[in-house]
Chain A
Amino acid sequence: MSQDKPLSGIHVVEHTSGVAGAWAGRLLAAMGAEVTLVEPAALSVLRRTAPFLPSGESALFAYVAADKKGVICDLETETGRASLASLLTAADIFIDDTPVKGRASLGIDEAGIAARYPDLIHLSVLPFGAFGPKADWSGAEINLIHAGGEGFLLPNGLSANMFPDRPPLKIAGHFAQMQGGVVAALSALSALWSRKGQCVDVSIQDANAAVGAFAIQRFGDGSVEHRLTRSFRYGGVIACSDGYVELLTLEERQWQGLVHLMGDPEWAQDPALNDAVARSNSGDMINEKIRAWACQFEVEDLVARAQELGVPMARYNAPHQILAGAHEVARGAFQNVQTVADGVIKVQAAPFRFADAPVGIDAAAPQPGAHQYILDATPPVLSKRVTI
């Protein structure tokens, strides 16, 4: 299933403890870069972060560290700093998420790195960036999804209808930090493209404001969004007899398909509903009808019939349904990875591919210090990039 990966020959050294920096490294590794994760003696905190596999190993670490090499290197010691120096000599990109004020003592401050490695892309990934009044602020996932604006706007739709008085809701997992990781990887590769060694300063807050940019534009248009009013006027999360579907009809023909799917009920024949704006304004009534109708059917049956009629509808898939999904299996979206403690697990290599075949995963997340030999070679023996 593997193919020539686009970043073959690019070397990345990753010194991270958070999800954002780790995700940046992981995306680069998935695309073929050789990524060496530098861990302290106490090991990456992500190895101790939920969720856990049956053995007690972290599923999060198994996911975000797949395809990386791992060395233990204590930057508090001179030997550790010398080892890192040797790695950086041959690296194209250095990913670091050490808080700014902790960098100089470890020898990884911006000025020092720039002076010693003028061709290196020094990628800093921090909750609020390395510059500005909040550069030293801490930020966990729940803080960052709200600092970027999207947290305030969630939930919407059915959940907001059911629980209008509850506090806002975060997105599952590490959504905000992963946005930071994607922006970081994009920015580092763009800097590398420019052939200018430099520091790239990524703020996870900024990354989230960027993906939430429409809220800012709509604010500029004079429209202040709120989770209780941002919902689509009809459709959205719809309960069936055995689960939930998402239904969204933005185009006229899709609405007509939905009416047909519902058996052309009399209420839907009202001429007042022919106009999209009027229909939208009758959203509460329409949703009441849709919900009363949909709860009689099973998800699978309804989705199949909707798709035949060109009505955009999707099952809210639980994880096990995704892993077993015919589409995902056909595309090889998840690949078997052999682990030491949990046998074969499935890992998604990357959310994009460069040919029909997915990019392959060559190795499970590294055991602690599994690639310590890299530090023994001076300078490290690394394959050369060929640039034409």
Chain B
Amino acid sequence: MKPLEGLRIADFTVHAAGPFCTHMLSQLGAQCIKIESSQRLDIFRKPHAVYGRAGPATFDQVASNKLSVRLNLKHADGVALAKRLVAQSDVAAESFRAGVMQRLGLGYEVLRAVKKDIVMVSVSSSGQTGPDSHFAGYAPLFGAWGGLGYLTGYEDGPPVEMRHVMDHSVGMNAALATVAALHKRRMTGLGSHVDVAAREVASSLVGEALTASSAGVELERMGNNDPQHAPHGIYATDTPERWLTVAVTSDGEWKALAEIMGRPELANDACYATGAARIARRSEVDGFVRHWCKASDADTAAALLQSAGIAAHVSWRASDIVADPHMRGRNSIVEVTESNGKTRKAIGFPARFSKSDAPGMDRGTPGLGEHEDYVFGDLLGIGARERARLVDEHVIF
């Protein structure tokens, strides 16, 4: 059995952050029923033009493994059906703006009335409470509000916008909090309303800078530098766009690096002997490494540095990741089979379990409403005639 097998999620989430939460829980074994309607498709299922072309964005990864049903939540009977589904579920997940679920008649108190120990997880830009709770937002705004964007950037440049790793960080945190709430239910019998604020997730990722600020120590953007270690950075190699990252974190590693670079005289030069000395001469030290890297093959150099205990890795593109024997061996890269029989590469669950069945994706992207026979028929016990009526009346729509 997968770790979370036996749990069921009524999944009202849309966009990226919320669906990534349920995507993680689904890979861990929970049965996830995605609720959409043809009138209100998940925006990630729809084409949009933000990248300069009108194609669907990036729906497949997070929708894989989920079951799909249509439900018109603008119709009273649709809301009633949603409640019946929640009554059969352990978790209800949503990612609308704060207040939308209440307006739909599906707020936490309502869901609790139909399932007293329901774990409801709400993912939003700014949380369920507070003066900004009504704000809509996207990943770059979460990063901007939360400080992660301000602190990221070249020393002499502007802040940097966070992209979907920000959304997915939010989803990962939401998945964690959901499982914690399930443990509470197991121990106490009580459900919870989990409130995940994306901007607070962004802040959590630079929490040390916020704590420092509270004591009067203000951090600013520092590019790729590390305040305590040098050399530390990313360097061009003999091939364009094949960058090598190197982090020397001890004096011993510096000596080893000097030898590898063919500059043994640097190893014992007092000017570079300590971390503080190298920080003081950061640009000089970086220059030595830059010079060596420029004439090196990135992959060979990374392996060589690692063999001497120096942290190094090539800056990887997607094409490197999908081909990597290490990640493939770990099931970090998997093949997913779509309903049309085609396979595609996807990212698997990022942990291995020694005794549970491996998390992962058993199915590809569900078609809209693909699993209504099971969900409405088997699970909710709705007969064929009643289902036909619900379809006719645009409740299942």
Contact = CB atoms under 8 A, between A and B. Distances in A.
A283 B237 CA distance: 33
Contact of B147 (A140, A279, A319, A342): A319
A62 interface: yes
> Which range holds the interface residue count of chain B?
35 or more
Interface stretch (A83-91, A240-248, A261-269): A240-248
Interface string B161-205: 111110011001111110111111011110011111100110111
Q: How large is the interface on A (under 10, 10 to 19, 20 to 34, 35 or more residues)?
A: 35 or more
Interface string A159-182: 100110011111111110011001
A353 B147 contact: no
A274 B164 CA distance: 27
B234 interface: yes
B48 interface: yes
A173 B243 contact: no
Interface in A209-255: 209-221, 224-225, 230, 232-233, 236-237, 239, 244-246, 248, 250
A218 B318 contact: yes
B61 A213 contact: yes
Contact of A279 (B49, B145, B312): B49
Interface stretch (B81-89, B218-226, B371-379): B218-226
Given A211-B168, A355-B193, A186 B179 contact: yes
Contact of B158 (A51, A132, A159): A159
Contact of A163 (B24, B127, B157, B189): B157
B206 interface: yes
Interface stretch (B34-42, B258-266, B342-350, B386-394): B342-350
Nearest to B331: A206
Contacts of B147: 317-319, 322
A225 B349 CA distance: 22
Interface string A67-102: 000000000000000000000000000000000000
A261 to B, nearest CB: 15
Contacts of A326: 131-132
B183 A307 contact: no
Nearest to B7: A193
Given A51-B217, A182-B169, A333-B200, A276 B54 contact: yes
A203 interface: yes
B234 A168 contact: yes
Interface string B290-332: 0000000000000000100111111111111110011101101
A7 B180 contact: yes
A237 B161 contact: yes
A156 B327 CA distance: 26
A198 B150 contact: no
Contacts of A258: none
Given A149-B321, A163-B157, A171-B162, A114 B234 contact: no
Consensus secondary structure, chain A interface: mixed
A348 B204 contact: yes
Contacts of A155: 152-154, 157, 160
A185 B177 CA distance: 10
B211 A63 contact: yes
Contacts of B48: 250, 276
B66 interface: no
Given A6-B184, A193-B179, A314-B137, A168 B165 contact: no
A360 B214 CA distance: 18
A213 B168 contact: yes
B179 to A, nearest CB: 4
A5 B3 CA distance: 22
Contact of B152 (A143, A171, A178, A179): A171
B132 A327 contact: yes
B283 interface: no
B33 interface: no
Contact of B200 (A137, A216, A219, A351): A351
B13 to A, nearest CB: 15
A108 interface: no
Interface of B: 1, 3-4, 16, 24, 28, 43, 48-55, 57-58, 60-62, 126-133, 135-138, 140-141, 143-154, 157-165, 168-169, 172-177, 179-184, 186-189, 192-197, 200-201, 203-219, 221-224, 226-229, 232-236, 243, 245-247, 249, 306, 309-322, 325-327, 329-330, 332-333, 344-347, 349-356
23 contacts: A59-B215, A131-B329, A132-B330, A146-B243, A147-B313, A148-B316, A151-B316, A168-B243, A174-B205, A179-B169, A179-B172, A189-B179, A191-B3, A194-B3, A194-B356, A237-B159, A248-B138, A280-B50, A312-B138, A315-B144, A330-B131, A345-B211, A354-B194
- Please list the 10 inter-chain residue pairs (A to B) with the smallest Cβ-Cβ separation, ordered nearest first: A140-B247, A6-B184, A346-B214, A206-B350, A172-B151, A219-B318, A319-B213, A198-B355, A351-B204, A211-B168
